[in-house]
Copies of this chain bind each other. A is one copy, B any other.
């Protein structure tokens, strides 16, 4: 669900992109982005495309043909980083981990130690497997080996700690449609002086015009150097989304994602289902719960019934996990008690039709217990004052 405040903002009439009213909005978006990325860097602005566009902007702007790049891969979005690097004709060294596990910093260090490396690129939140990759260690390694750390924070931004400056992340790329609860279409990026210096020291022209970070930064600066026509409406939406984050406050927002994700996981366990992956809770995404499809239960039929009969969409899995894992998101505006309880309630019904033995009400009761023990049942959750309707169309 998009935040209703975001949707309302997107119905606002347009401003010209050099209208002082609009450039003031741009400045506000940059300031709010710095808060969410936890950075003081001035280079904090949205790329005019989805998260993938932001990631490609980072890679194509930093990497010249032949540049060495170490890529951590333990899921589909690590594979995307690999593809992006290869299309730049970079010398891509890929450090893999089993899907469902986090990257091993020792293996990353070994790859960095082999040869001078320009970029270390990793995924912070691997939504294909539910793994949360600790970044502070990798930030230290990148500095030690004089590489730039590029992190995909598409799913974590606004939902879990993303602390660029504290972790020495040089470039981070977010998305709007995950924990920011804004429609897909912009990629907030942030990069620091080290990355800016690398952009300036390039020997060759960036291969992309649309995704040339240096040009985009000149537009998103007091110079306002003309580039593409800003997607005004998306910028309105992003401003509303970031304002909602600032209003709630990062600690409260992260706690809310943790609370509802945990309630979901407790409920899922009470339905007799198991989570995919072997990492401990601190290396799992709070806002994305990967559930093993139990034997004898049909992946597609369950997702279809949830969507058609209950209006609830849960994610299919990718590649080797297809048909074996469901991915349930509790992100941004959707990270709320009603959604967790509705999903657990509906999932019980659908599993019953699949012949899966469930103790009636087990999932909902376990989640309610969790809310009670977490002391959250009494305190009203974050709300913008509009009537909250379940995620049913």
User: Which A residues form the contact surface with B (CB < 8 A)?
Assistant: 1-2, 7-8, 10-16, 18-19, 21, 48-53, 56, 60, 80, 83-84, 86-88, 175, 177, 183-185, 205-211, 226-234, 237, 307, 313, 316, 318, 393
Contact = CB atoms under 8 A, between A and B. Distances in A.
Contacts of A88: 207
Contacts of A13: 1-2, 7, 393
Contact of A209 (B7, B12, B56, B313): B56
Q: 6 tightest A-B contacts by CB?
A: A185-B231, A183-B233, A11-B11, A52-B228, A184-B229, A16-B313
A8 B7 contact: no
A337 to B, nearest CB: 19
Most chain B beta carbons < 10 A, residue from A12, A16, A48, A209: A209
B206 A87 contact: yes
Given A50-B229, A229-B50, A1 B19 contact: no
B183 A185 contact: no
B52 A183 contact: no
Given A56-B210, A228-B53, A48 B205 contact: no
A312 to B, nearest CB: 10
B50 A87 contact: no
Consensus secondary structure, chain A interface: loop
A5 B208 CA distance: 34
Contacts of A51: 228-229
Nearest to A318: B226
Contacts of A233: 2, 7, 10, 183-185, 233-234, 237
Contact of A210 (B12, B18, B53, B227): B53
A12 B7 contact: yes
A88 B196 CA distance: 23
Given A49-B53, A88-B207, 11 more contacts: A1-B14, A7-B11, A7-B13, A48-B53, A50-B210, A50-B228, A53-B228, A60-B208, A83-B209, A84-B209, A208-B211
Contacts of A318: 226
24 contacts: A2-B13, A7-B13, A13-B393, A14-B177, A21-B393, A48-B185, A49-B53, A52-B209, A52-B210, A52-B227, A53-B210, A60-B208, A84-B209, A86-B205, A87-B205, A87-B208, A87-B209, A88-B207, A183-B233, A184-B229, A184-B231, A208-B208, A210-B211, A233-B237
Contacts of A87: 205-209
Nearest to A57: B210
A15 B393 contact: yes
A60 B87 CA distance: 12
A282 B21 CA distance: 37
B183 A234 contact: yes
A203 B40 CA distance: 44
A151 to B, nearest CB: 18
A49 B84 contact: no
